[in-house]
Amino acid sequence: LCHDVIGPDVRLYWDQAVYKKPEYPKPFPWHQDNGYTYIEPQSYLTCWIALNDATVDNGCPWVIPGGHLRGTLAHRTSKLGFVCREEDGLEALAVPVRAGGIVVFSSLMPHRTGPNVTSGVRKSYILQYAPEGARIVQTDTACDAPDRQYVILKRGDRVSPPPLQ
């Protein structure tokens, strides 16, 4: 997947576990991943893995089909994070996914997660992959922190991750 979308030289850029606890009806706002840390090239790959069923009721992802074609949008800061859009609009699409399923999208895809109005915790694991040589624009820092952003593909060949310490 990384090779087909990004190319022959790929680096793990970011990963995080996200637990969405039950709460009052509060969605996580519309944003683009590249809106948080602007990197070049702008488009990298986000893989959102459901660790349990992600439903509309417990906060599954929502996307704006074709929204990634607009580039990195202007974002403003809110209490919950960066925001690039206020409303869902008619084109917004819920993406429920079963446990073990994956939602794959560009870092330029406007997306949000809905509120968790159930009694359970919605769990996901997010992996992001960028081309080798990607740089954080504001600081010109390479996306190659050796303890976190290791090489996945080199000249199209799989590279084993570094050993755990």
Asked if residue 64 is part of any domain, the answer here is yes
Range of the domain at 80: 2-135
User: Residue 89 and residue 71: Cα distance in Å, rounded?
Assistant: 19
Asked if residue 142 is part of any domain, the answer here is no
pLDDT tens for the chain, residues 1 to 165: 999 989 999 999 899 999 999 987 777 888 888 777 778 888 789 999 999 999 999 999 999 998 888 877 777 887 777 888 878 777 899 999 999 999 999 988 999 999 999 999 999 999 999 999 888 877 555 556 666 566 778 888 888 766 655
User: Residue 75 and residue 86: Cα distance in Å, rounded?
Assistant: 11
Tell me the residue type at 156.
Answer: G
Domain count, the chain: 1
User: Residue 37 and residue 159: Cα distance in Å, rounded?
Assistant: 26
Cα-based angle 150, 44, 129 (whole degrees, multiple of 5): 25
Asked if residue 24 is part of any domain, the answer here is yes
**Domain harbouring 50, CATH code:** 2.60.120.620
Asked if residue 154 is part of any domain, the answer here is no
